[in-house]
Amino acid sequence: MKQTTLRRLISLGMLAILFILFTVISGTGFFNADNLVELLRDASVVAIVGVGVTYVIITSGIDLSTGSIMGVCGMVMANIYAYTLIPIPLMILCGILVGVVCGIINGFIVGELHVPEFIGTLATLSLFRALTYVFAIRDQNGVIQSQPMTVSSYTVLGTKAGPLYIVTYVMIAVIVIGQIILRYTRMGTNLYAIGANKKAAVLSGIHIDRTQIFAYVVTGICCAIGAVFTTARLQSATALLGDGFEFDPISAAVVGGVSLAGGSGDILGMLIGALFMGTLENGVRKLGINSAMQYVIKGTIIILVVIFDGWNRKRLADKAVEEGEKEEKTA
């Protein structure tokens, strides 16, 4: 059995156990149609941003700036909404273009300037959050305030279309497109090659810098989409939009079997991870557990998953060495 398939099955098992646990404890308060639809809605933004984050992690990179990118995209759209007569579709396009620019900046820092991913995106986390406050809507006394975004042609994006929320349909589309690119295109192959062995990828003629920029640009676009649907649902934008969000898509990817060492995992696994994190958050909220405990539980799960990933990779490496030694002896 392939390792990706095995990790996906383990993630599905974890999701099933968590779902059964909350159903038993909460009863009908958890396992009902309305709550499941809300659970999907809450997991959708994490899964959308998780597509880009998965691309980055597969290249053995990391992006810590996703929440700040959401913030600056949301605040740019809020300014356009408040001070111009630009139509809503063009406002959304401007927000997505801001996401693209943020992705290019991250990709340039990592791919062209060769700054370590952790340091580079930690810096842009602060940079983009600072820009969010620069663009923040203020009153006459200079106090930051939220910007209502209540026009119906925009807030409709935060509502249902049929049985599911619109953001859930968009999430499904992004997941399908992301998986196709990753599994069936040359760019997807390049992402895996860079994560598996960067030196070998260079010798194979793969443009490391271009591929990394692509991964970060996709992440920027996904963050902008997340900002659109979050502000549409809340019907407002604040300077705190996306604050602390960085942890969620990374968690979804790791729980879904995307190795932090790079070179393995896929979008479908990340989706399972996003549903797991969404179920965890929804269940904890239903049980009335202190919100601070959510971070304790999430952190503990991530530590256990990373430990398992490290153990599994070591086991596979030892197995490969043993098989190599056997072949040498038989030769």
Amino acid 277 reads M
Q: Please give the pLDDT value at position 124.
A: 98
User: In this predicted structure, what is the pLDDT of residue 3?
Assistant: 65
d(CA 164, CA 168): 6
Q: What is the pLDDT of residue 331?
A: 60
Q: List, in order, residues 6 or more apart from 304 with CB less than 8 Å away.
A: none
pLDDT at position 8, please?
Answer: 79
| C-alpha to C-alpha distance for 87 and 92, rounded to whole angstroms | 9
Please give the backbone phi and psi of residue 8, each rounded to the nearest 5 degrees, phi first: -65, -40
Per-residue pLDDT tens, the chain, 331 aa: give them.
466 677 778 888 888 888 888 888 877 777 788 889 999 999 999 999 999 999 999 999 999 999 999 999 999 999 999 999 999 999 999 999 999 999 999 999 999 999 999 999 999 999 999 999 999 988 888 888 899 999 999 999 999 999 999 999 999 999 999 999 999 999 999 999 999 999 999 999 999 999 999 999 999 999 999 999 999 999 999 999 999 899 899 999 999 989 888 888 999 999 999 999 999 888 888 888 777 777 787 788 888 877 877 787 777 677 767 776 676 666 6
Answer whether residue 163 is part of any domain: yes
Assign residue 291 the CATH number of its domain.
1.10.3470
Phi/psi of residue 69, nearest 5 degrees: -65, -45
- 197 belongs to a structural domain: yes
Please indicate, yes or no, if residue 168 is contained in any of the structural domains: yes
**Based on the structure, what is the number of domains in the chain?**
1
Mutual angle of helices 66-83 and 33-58, in 10-degree steps: 110
Q: Is residue 17 part of a domain?
A: no
Structure confidence at residue 290 (pLDDT): 77
The pLDDT, as a whole number, for residue 83 is 93
Question: The whole model's pTM is what?
Answer: 0.93
> Is there a contact between 102 and 223 (Cβ–Cβ < 8 Å)?
yes
For 94, the domain range is 3-12+31-320
Residue 25 lies in a domain: no
Identity of the amino acid at 136: A
Cβ neighbours around 10 below 10 Å, total: 18
Q: How far apart are CA 282 and CA 200, in angstroms?
A: 43
Partners of 138 in beta bridges: 144
> How confident is the model at residue 32, as a pLDDT?
85
For residue 294, is it within any domain?
yes
> Is 326 a member of any domain?
no
**pLDDT, position 230:** 97
End-to-end CA separation in angstroms for the chain: 27
The secondary structure of residue 46, as a DSSP letter, is H
**Which residues does residue 29 pair with via DSSP β-bridges, in sequence order?**
none
CA distances from 239 to 132, 186, 192, 275 (A): 6, 38, 36, 27
Q: Is residue 331 in a domain?
A: no
